[in-house]
Amino acid sequence: MKVLLATYFTIPQEIGGLWPFISELKNGLETRGFEVDILGRTADGSGYTLYNKNLVLHSDELIPLVQGNLAPALNFLPPANYELARYGLELAAASFGLKRYDVIHCQDVIAGLSLSRIKPAHVPLITSVHGSLPHSYIHYLKNNIPSITLEDCQKTATYRYHAALEFAGLQKSCLIHTSSMWFRNRLTSQYGISQDKVETFPYGLNISTLERQQPGMIPHVTPHKKIIIFTGRIVHIKGIPYLIDALHKLKKVRNDWQCWIIGDGELGADSVKKTAKYGLHNDVLFLGKRNDIFPLLKKSDIFVLPSLQDNQPYSVMEAQVAGLPSVVTNTGGLPEMVRHGETGIVVPSANSHSLFLGIKQLLQNDTLRTSMGEQAKRTGLVQWSFHTMIDKTIHMYEKLLYSSPK
């Protein structure tokens, strides 16, 4: 079977994003005898690539064709650049050719909408929905304009554009995959998507890939101190300001800890300044992007993720199979990942005091912290099984090919 994995976004990505899922899915399918290609935008955003075939079409070859036909209409559309890039993906996909594939598996609703317009009628199209376009735009605005209200966000033309794009992409997909029941319920209730059109199963982790990560420089830690670790983007949606506020509270009652923040993002510089303002510059270390996240997790004691919205983040999965208890918020799909009181602690989102209490509870109770970490590893190795994810993905393909119309 020949499969095309397609995304509107850039590939590969240095850390996080869709790339871990896409690359591991490709590898897993190929071990089962599938032929798999990956379509997306080039890493520098200058064009479109059939990545594993080393084929590239540059935007300056494609976009003029779009502008020549749609320029008058685009003048009245505020997010014109998004539309140009989306049409560019359509042109690139049409140029590379789609007839040879048995299944097209898109990794976002933008790619799903674009490829649905040009794919051969006999080729089914599946969309894995990893996040919400309009909600991501809200958090992008809040990242840049902290005082903006939800109502004002929803009034913007770009928000309405993303909401319409998400709805259209979902409608055009033959089948939709979500990794959490939270996101499944959101799609069926908000957009009226039929339950029969949605397949839900979690992502999987390739443990052998994690184990091959080579450890880099590991900061010196005073022996009696426990390590609290965050891995992810340093952006508004990940709740970083609440984490720093919680650590400020923690420092007032305990000094037997150090926090490692792994990743970067728009709030990086402000977060460093805030920790300095709180006098935490020796307690909170910003280690930037790292390629040795799993070894760092193994050196840590508590994982924390104070997200304001999340679906099924890889960071929690990796922390669990590394044997760490997690302190996470009760938003999105996180409560499906962390069993409160068994594999970690679930606290209200956007609440630094509750976050502080959760971290403090694990710091002060060695037995609880250890037992939760052990249970998290046992549960994670089963729940995030890579082989199960591949099995269910293949079943999803076969369901479309052999038992339903295209």
What one-character-per-residue DSSP string does 197-252 give?
GEEE----B-HHHHHTPPP-------TTPEEEEEES--SGGGTHHHHHHHHHHHHT
Task: Kindly state whether residues 164 and 291 are assigned to the same domain.
Answer: no
> In this predicted structure, which of 81-90, 167-176, 267-276, 387-396 has the lowest mean pLDDT?
81-90
What mean pLDDT comes out for the span 295-317? 96
Q: Each residue of 311-361: pLDDT tens digit?
A: 999 999 999 999 999 999 999 999 999 999 999 999 999 999 999 999 999
Specify the 3-state DSSP secondary structure of 101.
Answer: coil
Task: Kindly state whether residues 168 and 233 are assigned to the same domain.
Answer: no
Task: Kindly state whether residues 156 and 238 are assigned to the same domain.
Answer: no
Beta pairing partners, 42: 11
Is the model's pLDDT at 402 over the cut of 70? yes
Q: What are the CA-CA distances from residue 289 to residues 76, 143, 234, 252 (Å)? A: 39, 20, 11, 29
Task: Kindly state whether residues 95 and 15 are assigned to the same domain.
Answer: yes
Averaged pLDDT of the chain: 93
Task: Kindly state whether residues 199 and 222 are assigned to the same domain.
Answer: no
What mean pLDDT comes out for the span 278-288? 96
Task: Kindly state whether residues 194 and 235 are assigned to the same domain.
Answer: no
What mean pLDDT comes out for the span 360-365? 98
Task: Kindly state whether residues 157 and 247 are assigned to the same domain.
Answer: no
Task: Kindly state whether residues 379 and 390 are assigned to the same domain.
Answer: no
Task: Kindly state whether residues 310 and 189 are assigned to the same domain.
Answer: no
| pLDDT band at residue 74 under the 50/70/90 scheme | low
pLDDT, position 100 = 97
Look-up of token digits 């899922």: 21
Task: Kindly state whether residues 253 and 272 are assigned to the same domain.
Answer: yes
Counting the structural domains of the chain, the total is 2
Domain CATH code at residue 326: 3.40.50.2000
Instruction: Please give the backbone phi and psi of residue 387, each rounded to the nearest 5 degrees, phi first.
Output: -65, -35
Is the model's pLDDT at 406 over the cut of 60? no
Task: Kindly state whether residues 245 and 304 are assigned to the same domain.
Answer: yes
Q: Each residue of 224-251: pLDDT tens digit?
A: 999 999 999 998 899 999 999 999 999 9
**Residue 294 lies in domain:** 211-383
Provide the whole-model pTM. 0.91
What mean pLDDT comes out for the span 7-30? 86
Distance, in Å, from the CA atom of 224 to the CA atom of 226, rounded to the nearest integer, reads 7
Task: Kindly state whether residues 153 and 233 are assigned to the same domain.
Answer: no
What mean pLDDT comes out for the span 387-395? 98
